[in-house]
Amino acid sequence: MSRPLFDKFPLVLGLDTFGDVTDDEHGRPLSHAQTVRNLVEQGVLAEQVGVDFFGIGEHHTHDFPLSAGDVVLSAIAARTNRIHLGSAVTVLSSDDPVRVFQRYSTLNAVSGGRAEVILGRGSSIDSFPLFGYDLADYEELFEEKAQLFAELLKGGPVTWKGNTRAPLHDQDVVPHTEFGPFPTWIGVGGSPQSVIRAARYGFSLMLAIIGGSPARFAPFSRLYRQALERLGREALPVGVHSPGHVAATDEQARQEFWPHYLEVIRRVAKTRGFAIPTKDSFAFEVGPHGALYVGSPETVARKIAANLTTLGASRFELKYGMGGLSHGALMTNIELYGTQVIPRVRELLASG
């Protein structure tokens, strides 16, 4: 069991969303426009209740219409002062690294230095056909674009040549900000190669754990720290991203979450290769050894504290929301997470 690296990095407790389409009080899906407007309100509330980070994951489907999360983050930035804002995750493989860098540098300027970005290869591949990319180039696209993004973060004119975009020669990339390079993470869902890549390019590591025992990711944390040491790099933080839902009691949280979780997994199972959950498998996942953080504030806090310790991580991001839940349920989730879960996690880790 590893201790979180709180001596080197602060404990960060955040929220992530994929902008799932929510329902109104009568169970009818809201419009994409209303979903986006509600998301801004959720981000503003997150700051008000003490959440450290608010992230929006990129998707391009009817159920997950957040295709331009950075625009929504800018709207939240204009109404907040403290909370850090970023992607969770940006599909770098089907985007242009220069444009991603420019968008998040702009967000960094708007927010006064509060921007972050999590880069991913794209476990959800909807963006590849949308933007004309061939899945046969999946690995090369991410490798080259991650390399270019690392060069962009260094600042100054960039010279780069690869196979996946036009070369750059002594190119100045704007905007410049006084805040320095914004924190950049690589999201990893189970690939040791991605762990090594994060270390090689000097990106922080975000473990995306959406099923099974979180403890099985502990070797990735160790591999990452070993790789940084072998490469002569300073230690960098490790974070964890997992789905969940907080309500007043365990029973209420599970009753609210289960039917929507089942329906969402059913819809994506064919394209993502997911097994259809049963009530028994759900009971395991919400239990102490599963990957879902569903329950009362005390239950969720204890599970977060335990897994941060197990994984040697100093950051946790709860992916809240599930298609079909109401905006009110999500606002309650955010309030409970900020006012009760976060203080309790800090208390548990301080005393442990």
Write the pLDDT tens digit of every residue in 230-285: 999 999 999 999 999 999 999 999 999 999 999 988 887 776 677 899 999 999 99
Model pLDDT, residue 136: 64
Has residue 301 got a pLDDT over 70?
yes
Q: Return the axis-axis angle of helices 32-48 and 69-77, rounded to nearest 10°.
A: 40
Tell me the pLDDT band of 1, cut-offs 50, 70 and 90.
Answer: very low
- The CA R_g of the chain, rounded to the nearest whole Å, is 19
Contact 293, 287 (CB under 8 A): no
Q: Is the C-alpha dihedral spanning 245, 251, 257, 258 positive or negative?
A: positive
Model pLDDT, residue 132: 73
Is the pLDDT higher at 39 or at 129? 39
Model pLDDT, residue 168: 97
Model pLDDT, residue 27: 83
Has residue 303 got a pLDDT over 90?
yes
Q: What is the pLDDT of residues 74-120, one digit of tens each?
A: 999 999 999 999 999 888 988 999 999 999 999 999 999 999 999 98
Tell me the pLDDT band of 3, cut-offs 50, 70 and 90.
Answer: low
Has residue 2 got a pLDDT over 70?
no
Model pLDDT, residue 60: 67
For the chain, what percent of residues have pLDDT higher than 70? 94
Mean pLDDT along residues 186-208: 94
Distance CA 221, CA 310 (A): 10
Has residue 133 got a pLDDT over 90?
no
- Structural domains in the chain? 12-351 (3.20.20.30)
pTM (2 decimals)? Answer: 0.94
Has residue 33 got a pLDDT over 90?
yes
Distance CA 333, CA 205 (A): 26
Has residue 122 got a pLDDT over 70?
no
Has residue 199 got a pLDDT over 70?
yes
Mean pLDDT along residues 164-186: 94
Would you tell me how many other CB atoms lie within 10 Å of the CB of residue 177?
18
Distance CA 329, CA 27 (A): 12
Closest CA to 184 of 174, 173, 199, 168: 199
Tell me the pLDDT band of 169, cut-offs 50, 70 and 90.
Answer: very high
Mean pLDDT along residues 187-203: 93
Model pLDDT, residue 94: 82
Token pair listed for 230: 């072998």
Model pLDDT, residue 123: 58
